[in-house]
Amino acid sequence: MNFEQKARQLVDQMTIEEKAVLLRFDSPPINRLQIPRYHWWSEGLHGIARAGTATMFPQAIAMAAMFDKSEMEKIGDIISTEARGKFNMCSEQEDRDIYKGLTLWSPNINIFRDPRWGRGHETYGEDPYLTGRLGVHFIRGIQGDGKYLKAAACAKHFAVHSGPEELRHEFNAQVSQKDLWETYLPAFEECVTEAKVEGVMGAYNRVNGEPCCGSKTLMQDILRGKWKFDGYYTSDCWAIKDFHENHGVTNTATASAALALKCGCDINCGNIYLKILQAYQEGLVSEDDITEAAVHVMRTRLRLGLLAEDCEYDKISYDKVACREHRKTAICAAEKSVVLLKNAGILPLSKERKALAVIGPNADSRWPLIANYHGTAPRYITVLDGIEMVTGGKMRLYYSEGCHTIKDRVEKLALPNDRISEAVAAAKIAGTAVVCVGLDERYEGEQQDTGNRFEEKGSMADKETTKLPTSQITLLEALIGTGADLIVVNMTGSAVELNWLHKSENVKAILQGWYPGAEGGLAIADILFGNANPSGKLPITFYRDGKELPPITEYSMKNRTYRYMNPATALYPFGYGLSYTSFSYQDLSIKKVEDGYSVSVLVTNEGKMDGEEIVEAYIKDLDSVHAVKNYSLCAFDRVALSAGESRKVTLFIRKRSFEIVDENGDRYIDSKHFRVYVGGSQPDVRSVRLAGKAPLTDNICFEN
């Protein structure tokens, strides 16, 4: 079907008033044309959100730690299956409410450049290449490969958006052309040109003076011009009113509506497009402007098969929603996402232990499981629950909450640190303690406004510091003082300062558990007791000290992320993660192929435990003055190896990885000499020291 032609035929039959209402995010029905009501706002960041029961996968940053393209595509496919199952069920009952449509406003492919940014855990980390690859495969899973779109993914927030949250409605992100095209835009470009993402959402902020939902540069010149985007563009929610209320680029709501529409914003999440007809009457927009946006949104609805009688996805039943098969995949994803940061030989724990203390505000709480933009799971498994399940009730578990997540006491009427004595007693009696600390969506997340879930006093968005809350530091210091062996499970969506715990002799192991999804406590327990081998790698840098970070308002990439920072400031570098087994690399071979280079290496599991290894390839430009300061991830793959097994792994380094971006934002090959590193980590000194081995390396020389 020619969806473009069909959309134009439908829109040509509409009055200007009917065209205008199509552009509302809560689009009413046009009964005379048999077009039903449709609500554009739905969420699928890590499962269908805010629409009742659904499978809840680990948060996006945790999925990024899997470094697994095929798993991302599988997860996207499951999410769209559940979206269809719920949509079909709701449509039968004429329930066309918010969050129940097929236009999923995910993934968030902004670059997590600063660990203090509250929404960073919605992203795939700090690296443009990793973000682009995972985004492309997630979108392919969401949208499917049928005659119609299974669901419509939406790449957000376009563009140059990663805090500060509290200033987002007025903030102007000032960015160089080099940083724009080298860091902030590549993932969006790949999602548009490769994955053919159906939707793009604009950010709240301005970029170099232009509001992102009314930017000729971003929306016309780059997105629809340079990249030939042919999907729909939506504003972030209530972002267009910021044009006149906060950014000061217009004076009235009518002028704001006109600016957004003229620049190419098709859907307004908010109420400013109620002024579209007034803008038309005042001559600020033409009927052609309204018609073009109406065609775009009808084209998407047609691509989804919403007006078709032969859509293959109409047969997906509600039985698929939160089924056991999908939930099992979510637990598996959580296992793959856990990153082992330190292990002084204590892990995996023996199931024959007589006693174990399980301590901390995140040990038996649902909050750190779910993250933001979440659905309702049919079952939740906390870390304490998971340990009970894995040990079969045969081990004596001493549980203590230990402290409140951020407050100085658990009970209002108690004295400060009212759970410390209990936690200390539990650790002393058991001799070994699993201590679950961290944050949750109440304390790192989106700006707390009326459009979001939390308005309670004390809720936060960005973090003021990368340190753990004082309440948890006090708890950890008291537990270290007991002399017990501690295994710290850090459940956060961002990097926090763990240097003091890494150096402590009593802290025998540290796991980064992220926000692992509804049943993620079982995955963490399986890792702790060796039912699963940790294989995740960090998609972000864990710094030694947050004081070394530039101000969050500075969008220059200087001294940010592993590509531009001083590597000595990393405690746990990007791409780092330990295993219970050991992998060796041999026989590095590089061969020129069409559009790039083929890199092969023999990987061997030298240990006694089956495991999965993430093979990472980095490239360094040895000549150009425009090259990134350090090196860049250019290929990766996940390989499963039984104990003693060897396998040849072949990666593809595309031509684009050899290009630089100059100060004008132009991309081209500027060098003849490159160095390639292949192994289980970055080639930096810190990674080599922590991992105990260096990646293999070889040079590539371009001939004249």
**Catalytic annotation, residues:** 236
Dist. CA 377–CA 387, nearest whole Å: 20
User: What is the enclosing helix (H) or strand (E) of 700?
Assistant: strand 696-701
Amino acid type, 33: L
Q: Tell me the pairing of strands 632-641 and 667-668.
A: unpaired
Distance from CA of residue 377 to its chain's centroid? 20
User: Do you find a cis peptide bond into 516, omega within 30 degrees of 0?
Assistant: no
Residue of 496, 555, 446, 552 lying closest to 118 (CA atoms): 446
Dist. CA 530–CA 448, nearest whole Å: 39
Amino acid type, 340: L
Which runs of consecutive H residues, i.e. helices, occur in 36-151? 60-64, 69-92, 128-143
Residue of 358, 404, 400 lying closest to 383 (CA atoms): 358
Residues 6+ apart with CB under 8 A from 429: 355, 357, 398
Radius of gyration of the chain (CA): 25
Could you count the other beta carbons within 10 Å of the beta carbon of residue 172? 16
User: Can you tell me whether residue 568 is helix, strand or coil?
Assistant: helix
| 490 and 496 Cβ atoms separated by less than 8 Å | yes
- What number of residues does the chain have? 704
| 487 and 344 Cβ atoms separated by less than 8 Å | no
User: What is the enclosing helix (H) or strand (E) of 234?
Assistant: strand 232-234
What string of DSSP letters covers 306-337? TT-S--GGGG--GGGTT-HHHHHHHHHHHHHH
Calculate helix-pair angle for 253-263, 287-303, nearest 10 degrees: 60
Q: How far is CA 407 from CA 401, 457, 474, in A?
A: 13, 12, 11
Dist. CA 145–CA 420, nearest whole Å: 55
| Tokens 């995955």 found at | 523
Could you count the other beta carbons within 10 Å of the beta carbon of residue 624? 18
Dist. CA 640–CA 636, nearest whole Å: 14
Q: How far is CA 101 from CA 152, 274, 304, 645, in A?
A: 10, 21, 10, 47
Could you count the other beta carbons within 10 Å of the beta carbon of residue 623? 13
